[in-house]
Amino acid sequence: MTVTGRQVSRARIAEIAAREEQGYRDRTPKSEALFQRARQSLPLGVASSFQAYDPYPLFMGDARGSRITDVDGNEYIDFDMAFGVLAAGHSHPLLAEALQHRVANGTCYTFPVEDGIELAEEIKARFGADLVRFSNSGTEATMDAIRVARGYTGREKIIKMEGGYHGHHDDVLVSIQPPRDLMGPTDSPTTVPASAGIPRSRIAETVIAPYNEPDAIAAILEAHAGEIAAILVEPVQFNIGVVPPNPGYLERLRELATEHGAVLIFDEVKTGVVLAWGGAYEYFGVQPDLFCLAKSIGGGIPIGAFGGKREVMGVIETLEGSQHFAGMGGALGTGIEHSTIPGGATRVAHLGTFNGNPLSMTAGLVTLKQILTKDAYPRLNAMADRLTEGSQGVLDEYELPGYAINVGPKGCVMFTPGRVTNYRDFIGLDSDLWAASFFYLANRGILLPPGPDDQWTLSVQHTDAEIDRYIAVFREFAVELTA
Ligand SMILES: Cc1ncc(COP(=O)(O)O)c(C=O)c1O
């Protein structure tokens, strides 16, 4: 499908972008001062390079519900929600109360707690899983799931989709947004590192496939017969705007993984417990062998998790062919006399000082059992549809080149004339138009993620009035743009 729109004057876009960026600077002098100070101590002036953007990031003071306030005292309706972490909203009262109690009673034991069992049981129920383990971030969850898949299959290569982001470990920090001249052929993209410092040997283990092209996956599986441990996919590509799977795509991946003995891993770090009570698994009705969670399951406290079928997750207990584990090998599964596995490992190691810490477990439990309950989703979806329809109405009325899209309570305006089905379409996005809109909206109290590759996320604490405010400001932007 092609979305048409009038040609918006480039000069007009540049003029509005420059004016709004200046307005941003005028409103946020304390953020700028903190940024200058931060640069003396933190590379790029931030703790994660994702937080850096030009001219400088807002420094935030506090947040509650759907609102966030910067250090200059400007209040925003938060549609970023911490890169999609906060489907529960900021500091939900139920969470704040439970965490106060937890903080007063110890936040880290490195002994297990009952809340961890209950949270695992809840995740199992939502995702149709047999076993679950906890980590501290989405990065750890995908890293651990890949190791489990490799341990289970005895194979080393993985398939990752071009344009997909799965965290910052070496195996997956490739072909995130590769430059045009390096990305290679459409059907068999080149594996392009997204960072310096990644060994060539790691890159050789990650085979890149175009998203939404099942035939390309089939061809890769044939070409690497018996070598692919896992197919890793984000069910909706949420790191290039909002790119849903074509009908039948996830089902076909399921079939191909089974046919070729590869583990199908759904990265549900953004989709899990957000698209639906049971995440993308429930939303699309396709069951992977393993899934990864993080972000929203903790309600704003760091957490990660992965889980799936007993047969696959069971390798954390014992690998087929091993018989005993004890002592140091009890944890690592190495150096055990009775192992028949090359190298002696008897199990896949999954470790972490903070895994299952009581703070994260309580946060997860309250978030899932008391806030993101089944009855939260109809309202979240209705608000998202309202925002998408309102935004689309503005795009249509002013004939802007772009379209509004959401999947569950996550959506965005894609500023591009054609539908995006994979990363190569996404490259056509009008980033100047996006930037003009970002600063225009921010200066009027509507905060979006600071990049065209991310999207808005609604929380249970947003209101229809806030959605309507967003649409009204977006309309003002369209009026000025086309005046
Ligand atoms: C789909 C997906 N997977 C994994 C990650 C990594 O999660 P974290 O930043 O918690 O390490 C992200 C982060 O944005 C993500 O969007």
Q: What is the pLDDT of residues 121-177, one digit of tens each?
A: 999 999 999 999 999 999 999 999 999 999 999 999 999 999 999 999 999 999 999
CB 283 within 8 A of CB 408: yes
CA of 161 to the centre of ligand 1 (A): 15
CA of 205 to the centre of ligand 1 (A): 20
Question: b/e map of 338-377 (b: 16 or more CB within 10 Å)?
Answer: ebebeeebbbbebeeebbbbbbbbbbbbbbbeebbeeebb
In this prediction, residue 334 carries a pLDDT of 54
Which is nearest to 209 in space by CA: 201, 199, 220? 220
Q: What's the average model confidence in pLDDT over 182-192?
A: 96
pLDDT class of 329 with cuts at 50, 70, 90: low
Selecting among 157, 160, 270, 295, the annotated active-site residue is 295
Q: Is the four-CA dihedral 376, 382, 387, 392 of positive or negative sign? A: positive
295 annotated active-site: yes
DSSP state of 273: T
Q: What's the average model confidence in pLDDT over 344-372?
A: 95
In this predicted structure, the answer to whether residue 290 has a pLDDT above a threshold of 80 is yes
CB 57 within 8 A of CB 449: no
Site residues for ligand 1, CB cut-off 6 Å: 83, 137-139, 142, 165-167, 234, 239, 267, 269-270, 294
CA of 145 to the centre of ligand 1 (A): 13
**Minimum mean pLDDT among 23-32, 225-234, 243-252, 339-348: which range?**
339-348
Helix (H) or strand (E) holding 38: helix 29-38
In this predicted structure, the answer to whether residue 26 has a pLDDT above a threshold of 60 is yes
Tokens found for residue 369: 């059992």
In this predicted structure, the answer to whether residue 261 has a pLDDT above a threshold of 90 is yes
Tokens found for residue 86: 């906060």
In this prediction, residue 1 carries a pLDDT of 39
Peptide bond into 189 cis (omega under 30): no
**Minimum mean pLDDT among 15-24, 69-78, 100-109, 343-352: which range?**
343-352
In this prediction, residue 319 carries a pLDDT of 81
Its pTM stands at 0.95
In this prediction, residue 345 carries a pLDDT of 78
In this predicted structure, the answer to whether residue 179 has a pLDDT above a threshold of 60 is yes
CA of 297 to the centre of ligand 1 (A): 13
Which mutation among 139, 177, 354 tests ligand 1's pocket best, with the greatest number of atoms within 8 A of CB? 139
Pairing of strands 67-70, 206-209: unpaired
Q: Kindly write down the DSSP assignment for every residue of 195-207, as one continuous string.
A: STT--HHHHTTEE
Which is nearest to 225 in space by CA: 153, 164, 162? 153
Distance CA(56)–CA(45), nearest Å, equals 9
Instruction: Output phi, psi for 61, to 5 deg.
Output: -105, -55
CB 237 within 8 A of CB 169: no
Instruction: Output phi, psi for 119, to 5 deg.
Output: -65, -40
Q: What's the average model confidence in pLDDT over 408-429?
A: 95
- Which atom, in ligand 1's list, is nearest to the CA of 304? 10
pLDDT class of 325 with cuts at 50, 70, 90: very low
In this predicted structure, the answer to whether residue 2 has a pLDDT above a threshold of 50 is no
Tokens found for residue 19: 């004016």
In this predicted structure, the answer to whether residue 3 has a pLDDT above a threshold of 50 is no
Distance CA(148)–CA(305), nearest Å, equals 13
Residue nearest to atom 4 of ligand 1 (CA): 166
267 annotated active-site: yes
